[in-house]
Amino acid sequence: MKTVILDAYTMNPGDLPWDGWEKLGDFVKYDRTPKELVVQRAADAEIVLVNKVRMHAEVIAQLPKLRYIGVLATGYDVVDVKAAKEAGITVTNVPAYSTDSVAQLVFAFILEHCQKVALYSQEVHKGAWQTSPDFTFSITPTIELAGKTLGVIGLGRIGMKVAEIGHAFGMKVVGYRRNPPAALPSWLAIAPVETIFKTADFLTCHCPLTPETRPLIDAKHLSLMKPTAFLVNTSRGPVVDEQALADTLNAGRIAGAAVDVLAQEPPSNGSPLLTAKNCLITPHLAWATKEARIRLNQVALENVKAFIAGKPVNVVS
C-alpha cells in the first residue's frame, strides 16, 4: 500500500526519525500541501495522513483508491467523516497524546497572569530592583491560586488533567461535561455552563468544536464573568467569539484572557484579539512539545500498522 503524509512538518520538523514509516514500503511525505494539490498528491495512495489539510467530501470523491485517512491529531473535524464512511474509508485519530502538554500550557498562562513573571523580569533587567529603596518592589499585585475557583468546560482527558492540577494548587474546581461520568473525584463539582461562567476566577475551555460550541464563549456568557476573572482557550479558535472577547477585554470587563488558538490559523487576515488588552496569545503550540510529538508519531504509525493488519484502532468513522 502507498502511504502519503500531506502535512508532515508540524508533527516532525526534522527532529524525529521517519524510519518506522519508511519500513511500511511505498511512503511519501510532504511538509505542506496547498488545497489545490491535495488530490494530485494523494491520487495513488491507499493511506493518507493529515493534520490540518482538509479532506472534504469532494476531495474524497476524487480519490477512488483511498482506503484510510489518519488524522495526526485528536480532533478530526478536518475530515468529512460521513463522506469517508460512505466511501468505505476508515478514519482514525490519535487520542490523548498531548494531554500533559496542553494542561501544562493552561497553567503557564494562568501562572503568568498571577505572577507577572515576564513583566517583573523585564523591570529587573531595566534596573528597577537596583534602584529600589527596599529589598523588593511591586508594580502590580500578584495572585495566589489556593482557594480560587477553577472552572473547566469539557471534562475529557485534558479537562480532567487540568482539573487535577488545579486541585493540587488548592483551587476549588467546578466543571461541566454534557454527559459526566458516573464516578468523579469528591473535590470536583459539576455545574451548568452558566454557573461556571458566573463563579469561576479562572475559566478554561476544553470542549470539541461542534455546531453547539461554535461559539460557546460569546458576548452573553462573557457578560456573566467576574471582572477579576481570567479566561483560557486551548481547544479550538471558533469556540470563542473573538470580537466579543476583544470588546470585553478592551472594556475591562474581565481581567484578562489567554488563547493558544484562533478562528483563522495563521491569522493572515488579522484578529481582534491581536490588539486586545490583557490578552496572551501563543501560536497553537500547546500540543507540540517534543515529547507529545514523539507520542503522536508513534501512535499514528501504530494506527496505520493496525489498519494494514486488518484490525484498525482509534477509529472515529
Query: Residue 284 catalytic?
Result: yes
Q: State the residue range of the domain holding 259.
A: 99-281
236 is catalytic: yes
Q: Catalytic pick from 236, 242, 293, 295?
A: 236
CA gap 217, 207 in Å, rounded: 11
**Could you tell me if 161 and 221 lie in one domain?**
yes
Q: pLDDT digits over 1-38, tens only?
A: 999 999 999 999 999 999 999 999 999 999 999 999 99
Same domain, 267 and 161: yes
CATH number at residue 161: 3.40.50.720
123 and 90, same structural domain?
Answer: no
**Shared-domain flag, residues 159 and 235:** yes
Note whether 10 and 128 are same-domain residues.
no
User: Given 58, 144, 265, 291, which residue is catalytic?
Assistant: 265
The answer to whether position 317 is within a domain reads no
| Phi-psi sector, 8: left (phi>0), alpha (psi -120 to 50), beta | alpha
Question: Residue 316 falls within a domain, yes or no?
Answer: no
Q: Is residue 22 annotated as part of the catalytic site, yes or no?
A: no
Same domain membership, residue 121 and residue 264: yes
pLDDT tens across 48-79, in order? 999 999 999 999 999 999 999 999 999 898 99
Is the residue at 50 inside a domain?
yes
The verdict on pTM exceeding 0.85 is yes
Measure the CA–CA gap between 279 and 269, rounded to whole angstroms.
18
* Total count of residues recorded for the chain: 317
One domain, residues 256 and 128? yes
Same domain (yes/no): 271, 133: yes
**Per annotation, catalytic residue among 157, 284, 293, 295:** 284
Mean pLDDT, contiguous 10-residue spans, the chain (317 residues): 97 96 96 98 98 97 98 94 97 96 98 97 97 96 98 96 98 92 90 97 94 94 98 96 98 98 95 98 97 98 98 97
Measured between alpha carbons, how far is 126 from 33 in angstroms, rounded to an integer? 45
Tell whether 76 and 210 lie within a shared domain. no
Instruction: Evaluate whether residue 313 is within a structural domain.
Output: no
Q: How many domains does the chain divide into?
A: 2
Count Cβ neighbours within 10 Å for each residue of 175-193 and write b for 16 or more, e otherwise: bbbeeeeeeeeeebeeeeb
248 and 295 assigned to the same domain: no
